[in-house]
């Protein structure tokens, strides 16, 4: 394996570890799971804009985080897939201003639906209201994490020489 491939694999693994640790840290404050969730780790979902391989790290980190989810297997599967989808779309974003948008939309819709389903007890007459409320709350938390904290990453990554060099083939 050449040096560049090894560095990219290590970067993806580091992102998985950071995502997990930051999520568990947020759980101390009760903001990792539930309707209004503002995972500090979601700021990392902008990284595929510069480093597409970090999408795998985000997905693995989300799986490790969702192991503790009070919603169990559905969150482990669908919540993690929402992050995977967000990473894949962020990697294709055309500008830094659009890079935080896929996680907001993906998690708002998918995780919002999951929480709505969980709270309403299935797809019944209470589901649409529960979905609308939870989709909005999850999207709000994503806006704070991705446009707030994630925007800082979008500004700082190009200024850090080793990261700038690693992303030289990308969109910098």
pLDDT at position 37 is 84
Position 167 scores a pLDDT of 78
The predicted structure's pLDDT at residue 128: 98
Going from the C-alpha of 42 to that of each of 37, 70, 88, 129, the distances in angstroms are 10, 19, 14, 25
DSSP state of 98: T
Mean pLDDT by 10 residues, the chain (172 residues): 79 96 91 82 96 96 95 95 98 96 97 95 96 96 95 94 76 46
pLDDT recorded at residue 172: 45
Tell me what pLDDT residue 1 has.
56
> 67 Cβ partners below 8 Å, 6+ apart?
76
The model's pTM is 0.91
Q: How far apart are CA 87 and CA 99, in angstroms?
A: 9
């Amino acid at each position: 394996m050449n040096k560049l491939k090894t560095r990219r694999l290590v970067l993806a693994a580091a992102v998985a570890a950071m995502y997990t640790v930051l999520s568990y840290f947020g759980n101390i404050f009760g903001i990792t799971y539930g309707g209004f969730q503002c995972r500090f780790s979601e700021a990392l979902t902008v990284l595929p804009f510069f480093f597409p391989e970090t999408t795998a790290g985000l997905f693995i980190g989300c799986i490790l985080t969702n192991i503790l989810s009070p919603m169990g297997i559905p969150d482990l599967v669908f919540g993690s897939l929402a992050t995977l989808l967000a990473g894949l779309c962020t990697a294709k974003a055309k500008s830094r201003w659009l890079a935080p948008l896929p996680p907001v939309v993906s998690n708002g819709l998918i995780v919002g639906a999951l929480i709505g389903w969980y709270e309403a007890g299935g797809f019944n007459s209470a589901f649409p209201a529960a979905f609308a409320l939870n989709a909005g709350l999850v999207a709000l938390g994503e806006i704070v994490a991705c446009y707030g904290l994630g925007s800082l990453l979008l500004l700082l990554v190009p200024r850090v020489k080793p990261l700038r060099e690693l992303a030289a083939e990308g969109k910098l």
